Structure 1
Amino acid sequence: MMGLREAASCFVIFLLSVSGQGHSGLMKPVPGLSIMMFLVCLWRISSKLVQGEDPWGVRCTPTQICAVKGSKVQIRCSYWHPSRIDDLDVAVEKTFWFTKVQDGQPVDLRSASEYTGRVKYDCGNKACTLTITDLRDSDSDVYQFRFTTNQPTGSLTGSPGVSLSVTGVQVLTTKISACKTYDCSWSHVECQTSCSPTPSPSYIWYKNGQKTSGEKSYTAYFYSRDSISCAVRGHEDFPSAPVCVHGNSCNRVNYIDRNICAFKGSSVDISCSYSSHYNPITSKSWLVAEREDVQLHRPQAVDLLNDPEFTARVQVLDPEPGRSTLRIMNLRLSDSAQYRFTFKWKWFEWNRSFPGTTLTVTDPDVQVICSPIGPTLTCHSSCLLSGRPSFVWFKNGREIHGETSPTFRGFLHPENNYSCAYEHHHSSPVYAPKVPLVQLSQPGDILKDSSVSLTCSSDANPPPAYTWYKENQTLLNRAAQLVFSSILLSDSGEYYCTAENALGKTTSKRVLINVKYAPKPPSVSVSPSGKIMEGSSVTLTCSSDANPAANYTWYKRSGDKQVQPTASGQNFTITDITAEHGGKYQCEAQNTHGRSNTTLHLTVGAGAWKSAVTGTTTALLLVVILLTVFLWIRRNKSFTQQRECGERPEDRAQIPAAAHTRPAEQHHEVHYASVCFTQNRADDLYSNIGRVQPQRETEEDEEEAEYSAVRFDSATGTRREEEGDDSSAVYSTVTKH
């Protein structure tokens, strides 16, 4: 499958390299690059073919097997498949072997009546071994292994399969010459098989039951008492029937069955036929081979009639001359062993090394096998007793009369259960799946990004195959468990599963998965939109995606601090809004799984009357600013004139001498007043100057003279000190506090 896809891609690359351009000639490849890609592609395919890296495959080794009739054979195959397809895990649902195809479908060997009780599967770790016991000539066939997965196209049959040849071993004798003095002959014997069980087989020979080595053939003297038998080395327990080389009355033993299987607690008969060259036979006995001898400290054959473990449970029957039967009752698992018959004459004993009958004791394991091709039931046991097996079938615990074959041929109803019995041992009932139960991996809310699994279980026999679906019949997975490693919001929905086996199909109830998550960052809006004026109404709306639905709380923020909740609910309405309502508002969305918030800045504009007042205030403020600037300029100009006036020292009045004659300790600070007049000033100016008196230290300091130095400029520029009635004189009155 994978090889074909890669071969097709390599062919496309080859065409592009030959044409020398890409699609519609829009992209021209780099010279030599396409050829290089083509070669790399071929190398990858060849590497995968050599290394066996095809994602689907079956390999059986060896592909040809030869086995001896009566023995058992094991056929082993390994298989592989992709671990995931389309993000779904691939799981193997069925593994079985077949040789025949019926109605276009392979028939499981366990369902074929000719193999009932003789086949066993041992499957695991991507390998499966088929074991067939008590091989027959009819078992020669081609055996194929098949496995099916939970994928619609995920089935594969190993091809060409394993060819099994069952061969019988027999001795061919050729008389060369007769002895002159004795009852014997010079004869050639050959061990013949229809195929070679091993590449270079060797052989074991038994003369009068005594094991000897030898080649495939040899020549020797044989007497009339001698019998000869051979076996392929490695299959010594399945020798050929002993034959007389010279005459017809040789000593020999021939077992009716080489293998017998029986249930624990039941009884079994082991029989053989024998003949003796000498008469009469003095004794005969049944032995259990290779029991540990306590005194000899080596394996030793033990006479069952003298063994305490068997004395009360065995009988030796002689139904007719030349025939003996060993009956073992109340079988135990420890009774599994090889049982041999021996007889004695005065000077002869049949050798105990000759293989006998192998008994296998097992627990009852009767079971009903459902055919993968349809509702067909087969009663199966890994152990079938000798003789023609007889089966009994039951429906809902009641016997179905007339059904005695291993395969049930009646109508199967999905509401009934069926079972079978063999030798009074009942199988477990088989039935269609009950209504499946769906279980979540965790109780409570399912949170986004968490790990969640759904498990489908149903009571059914044989175990059912499970399939998962979502709402619209979308096939999700073919397994008992549906796993979400990190569940998404899109995974929310209804899920159900089906359980199906060969007897029917049922569907579970739907289970709702509701993925929960914390609120996402909210989105906020203002209505009406546009400029918000004082006196109007405004609605703030907050919305957030959350499951379950979020609860909303509004906060008014002061700087970076959040004050007490202002309102709750998705909508927050402010009526008769004022400038104080402006600022930052925070909307918080919260549910049981978390919280999230968003901040909105609200700006409130003034109304019409407020705008007029604001305009008037602005105009007045402008007038005040202009007036202040004007006064500041005049003040600077006056200050400049004073400085110019003070620059004439000759016009300053002298400070009376008395002011300088006061003691230093009583003369704190002298404050002077300088008055400067412009030349064109005609009016008299009076100046009363006062100061805040600091705290007196002594009473002697209570009276301190305050002087005022007055200077003026006359119109003529002449100072008159003598005239006391000068109309231009300026007086300065000093007031003390």
Structure 2
Amino acid sequence: MTGAVRRLTAAAASGFVVFLLSMPVAQGRNGWRVTYTSAQICALEGSTVEIRCTYTYPSTKNPATTVEQRTWSTRTSNHLRADSEYAGRVRYYCEGNNCTLRIADVRDGDSAVYMFRLKINRPDQTYIGSPGVTLSVTDLQVQVIRSISQEGGMRTELKCHSSCHPDQASYIWYKNGQKIQEATSSYLAHIHPADSYSCALKGHEDFPSPSKCVGGQSCNRVAYTHRSICAFRGSSVDISCTYSSHSDDVTSKFWFSPDRSRQWQNPSQPEDLREDSQYAGRVQVLETEGGRSTLRITDLTESDSAQYHFKFRAGSFEWRSSLPGTTLTVIAPDLQVLIKTSSSSWWSKLTCLSSCHLQHHSSYRWYLNGQHISGQTSVSYPVNLNQRDSYSCALRGREDVPSPPVCVRGQTCYRVTYTHRSICAVKGSSVDISCTYSSHVYYVTSNFWFNPDRSHQWKSPSQPEDLRKDSHYAGRVQVKTEGGRSTLRITNLTDSDSAQYHFKFRAGSFEWKSSLPGTTLTVTALQVQVTRRKVHQFYTQAELKCHSSCGPAGQVSYIWFNNGVKIMTEESSSYKDQFYPGDNISCALKGHETFISPSLHVLKPPSVSVSPSGDIMEGSSVTLNCSSDANPAANYTWYKENVNVKALSEEAQLVFRSIQSSDSGEYYCAAENELGRRTSQHISINVT
């Protein structure tokens, strides 16, 4: 094995696609020194790269030398973490004098020279480790090299090409989305015009080449718009692909997630995502002309983080799914304002950052001391530093989850920071809503909590009023404020308490504004819903969901009860089991077991009665009644024994306005709801 291949194998084991490493390189002068692990790195587009270095600097004891800043830069960007082109993709890791730059989801535009910058507390305070490390980003491409005439016909040689040329490595080859063999960078085969081919570096199958038609302009293939997408919890996402069939019309097509294979009836046969209960009501598939399909998922949760694939059939052809689809990562909103101060120390560049790499077309909102700044929509914002001011940012369309306010100069400024963005509480319980606040100089003269939804009760709609003076909350509100922290407690919660709650303070002539959202309280009443069922003769096999208006189910734990007995093994929002007639199932939020949901009742056989009772005379009015203790409510159907009639009535009552002797016979009813179907005993009618 050559040295180049050994290095490539080591890189594959570490999870980073690195094709070429040179010997360590060091630059230094007058006690400064930066040593890079390599001078050149080549990586596959979409992969993650690490650039490592160690450093030394001149030190003194009096005054003691301290490191003030360690950053990475290129010739066009002095601070990568503050650069919108790298937003959400760059991380710095330092341990002692060893520092690492990690760049995720690398793309062609990341090809550059990267240098380590060190700043210390001395006059010659900044050192740049030039010339740095050259990163080249490449993608794989299938190329047609030549056609060879052999016995049995023409064979075509294909090559998996990249600008890094790691020809000695092993490759995976795919035909029509299906893995066919492991080989070198070259592949020889009979080519059919309907077939598409793709290749990947072994160990890095997540970064294959695009599928290529090598026998003509049209072939069977699927191309995903993005390899990976990051999105915020609670938002929506569009996952797209283009697809084509060589000749036959597409007879079926759908999106699926291999991570959900345990839900499929046959693990080898993917099922349409729209039929999966986890995505119920949250999935749309948008089809446009030209063979483009878009999967839209709304109200995202962390459990939606998965890989998503598209599948189609055309005649006898079926697209396979050995090739990766689009990987979706869902995270909690984590915006933060990064401050980069200029050399003048009076101007600064603010950047709105997230660990998610947001799309370039994203638009932003900026806030000064809680007040929206109109006209500022870019990811970065230059400001004149003021010791009193705080700034915050939000993604346009997701203003409900802004970044925390940050002081742009010093540690103290005007700001309010809420402990929780949202709180979900059970009806009838109590809740604490808290925040911290600070004033730059002036003594706080007044502070209070208010609810903007109650503005119709205020004397002036533009002047919020203390919640403690609102009759709706009379006797149910307490406020505790001390040491720059305030807590609003609301007891005996009702549905109408669901609202957003804000804190306001005044200090001298300053007044904190309320453009920024406060804490959203959702008061919920739990309900057991049936998401899947299969009815058997003596029991029903079902999947239940503990539903509330609190949104994503994965954020809280649940308690389940069957006939009043706690089920110890279940703490998720879903519960699968076999249920028998007479079972009563309910749920509660963990920690709030006293506020339990209404019970879901598994059907018992319904009871029947006749009115009036006693002798029945011909021509009289007679009513048969069918009833059951059902939740969800049951649907009823009446039948007559030994009569070939589908149903006499689909109501709980069967009414004879003028009964005849021919109506004599045996009658029974059936009750059916989401948890099963049960029939009653027979009731005999004898008309004289």
| Structure with the largest fraction of helix | 1
Aligned CA distance change for structure 1 residues 295 and 308 (closer, same or farther; 3 Å): closer
1:68 aligns with 44
| Aligned-pair CA distance for 1:331 | 1.4
Aligned CA distance change for structure 1 residues 315 and 161 (closer, same or farther; 3 Å): same
| Aligned-pair CA distance for 1:160 | 2.9
Structure 1 residues 246-265: aligned runs within 5 Å: 246-265=215-234
2:255 to 269, 286, 296: 286
2:66 aligned with 1:91, yes or no?
yes
Q: Distance in 2 between matches of 1:266 and 1:399?
A: 22
| Aligned-pair CA distance for 1:298 | 8.4
Q: Distance in 1 between matches of 2:384 and 2:133?
A: 35
1:310 to 270, 279, 299: 279
2:106 aligned with 1:135, yes or no?
yes
Aligned CA distance change for structure 1 residues 299 and 123 (closer, same or farther; 3 Å): farther
Structure 1 residues 31-430: aligned runs within 5 Å: 56-80=32-56, 85-87=60-62, 89-100=64-75, 107-153=78-124, 155-174=126-145, 176=147, 185-196=154-165, 200-211=168-179, 212-291=181-260, 293=262, 303-374=272-343, 375-386=348-359, 388-423=361-396, 424=398, 425-430=401-406
| Aligned-pair CA distance for 1:412 | 3.7
Q: Distance in 2 between matches of 1:128 and 1:300?
A: 47
Aligned CA distance change for structure 1 residues 414 and 435 (closer, same or farther; 3 Å): closer
Can you give the 5+ residue segments of structure 2 that lack an aligned partner in the other structure? 1-24, 414-437, 441-688
Amino acid at match of 2:258: A
Amino acid at match of 1:71: S
Q: Provide, for residues 685-734 of structure 1, a one-character-per-residue CA deviation record: whole Å limited to 9, x for no partner.
A: xxxxxxxxxxxxxxxxxxxxxxxxxxxxxxxxxxxxxxxxxxxxxxxxxx
Q: Distance in 2 between matches of 1:435 and 1:70?
A: 39
TM-score (norm 1): 0.47
| Aligned-pair CA distance for 1:188 | 1.6
Q: Provide, for residues 167-224 of structure 1, a one-character-per-residue CA deviation record: whole Å limited to 9, x for no partner.
A: 121111145268999xx8521211111124x694332211110123121112210111
1:431 aligns with 407
| Aligned-pair CA distance for 1:435 | 7.5
| Aligned-pair CA distance for 1:248 | 2.2
Specify the SS of the correspondent of 1:62.
Answer: coil
Specify the SS of the correspondent of 1:279.
Answer: coil
Specify the SS of the correspondent of 1:426.
Answer: coil
Percent of paired sites with the same residue:
47
| Aligned-pair CA distance for 1:317 | 1.8
CA contact (8 A) 1:318 1:325 kept: yes
CA contact (8 A) 1:147 1:157 kept: yes
2:533 aligns with none
| Aligned-pair CA distance for 1:312 | 3.4
CA contact (8 A) 1:185 1:246 kept: no
Amino acid at match of 1:127: N
| Aligned-pair CA distance for 1:321 | 4.4
Specify the SS of the correspondent of 2:279.
Answer: coil
CA contact (8 A) 2:388 2:412 kept: no
Q: Distance in 2 between matches of 1:111 and 1:221?
A: 51
Aligned CA distance change for structure 1 residues 132 and 300 (closer, same or farther; 3 Å): farther
Q: Distance in 1 between matches of 2:84 and 2:285?
A: 33
Q: Provide, for residues 231-283 of structure 1, a one-character-per-residue CA deviation record: whole Å limited to 9, x for no partner.
A: 22333222222111212221000111112111111110100000012422222
Aligned CA distance change for structure 1 residues 300 and 54 (closer, same or farther; 3 Å): farther
Aligned CA distance change for structure 1 residues 399 and 299 (closer, same or farther; 3 Å): farther
| Aligned-pair CA distance for 1:226 | 0.7
CA contact (8 A) 1:393 1:403 kept: yes
1:545 aligns with none
Aligned CA distance change for structure 1 residues 335 and 460 (closer, same or farther; 3 Å): farther
CA contact (8 A) 1:293 1:300 kept: no
| Structure with the largest fraction of strand | 2
Aligned CA distance change for structure 1 residues 178 and 254 (closer, same or farther; 3 Å): farther
**CA-based RMSD:** 3.5
| Aligned-pair CA distance for 1:140 | 0.6
Q: Distance in 2 between matches of 1:416 and 1:279?
A: 65
| Aligned-pair CA distance for 1:65 | 1.0
Aligned CA distance change for structure 1 residues 218 and 432 (closer, same or farther; 3 Å): closer
Q: Distance in 2 between matches of 1:193 and 1:258?
A: 18
Structure 1 residues 595-610: aligned runs within 5 Å: none
1:580 aligns with none
| Aligned-pair CA distance for 1:143 | 0.5
Q: Provide, for residues 345-374 of structure 1, a one-character-per-residue CA deviation record: whole Å limited to 9, x for no partner.
A: 342211111111111212222122222544
Aligned CA distance change for structure 1 residues 199 and 155 (closer, same or farther; 3 Å): farther
Amino acid at match of 2:356: C
Q: Distance in 2 between matches of 1:221 and 1:58?
A: 53
Q: Distance in 1 between matches of 2:382 and 2:112?
A: 26
| Aligned-pair CA distance for 1:436 | 8.4
CA contact (8 A) 1:343 1:350 kept: yes
1:666 aligns with none
Amino acid at match of 1:431: C
Amino acid at match of 2:287: D
CA contact (8 A) 2:334 2:403 kept: yes
2:627 aligns with none
Aligned CA distance change for structure 1 residues 201 and 276 (closer, same or farther; 3 Å): same
Structure 1 residues 457-468: aligned runs within 5 Å: none
CA contact (8 A) 2:391 2:408 kept: no
Q: Distance in 2 between matches of 1:73 and 1:460?
A: 43
Q: Which of 1 and 2 has greater Rg?
A: 1
CA contact (8 A) 2:385 2:409 kept: no
CA contact (8 A) 2:167 2:184 kept: no
Q: Distance in 1 between matches of 2:252 and 2:361?
A: 33
Q: Distance in 1 between matches of 2:310 and 2:144?
A: 26
Aligned CA distance change for structure 1 residues 317 and 180 (closer, same or farther; 3 Å): farther
1:710 aligns with none
Query: For this pair of structures, how many residues does the alignment match?
Result: 383
CA contact (8 A) 1:108 1:372 kept: no
Amino acid at match of 1:344: R
Aligned CA distance change for structure 1 residues 174 and 185 (closer, same or farther; 3 Å): farther
Q: Distance in 2 between matches of 1:141 and 1:170?
A: 22
| Aligned-pair CA distance for 1:289 | 2.6
Aligned CA distance change for structure 1 residues 195 and 422 (closer, same or farther; 3 Å): same
Specify the SS of the correspondent of 2:303.
Answer: helix
2:498 aligns with none
Specify the SS of the correspondent of 2:47.
Answer: coil
Q: Distance in 1 between matches of 2:39 and 2:266?
A: 44
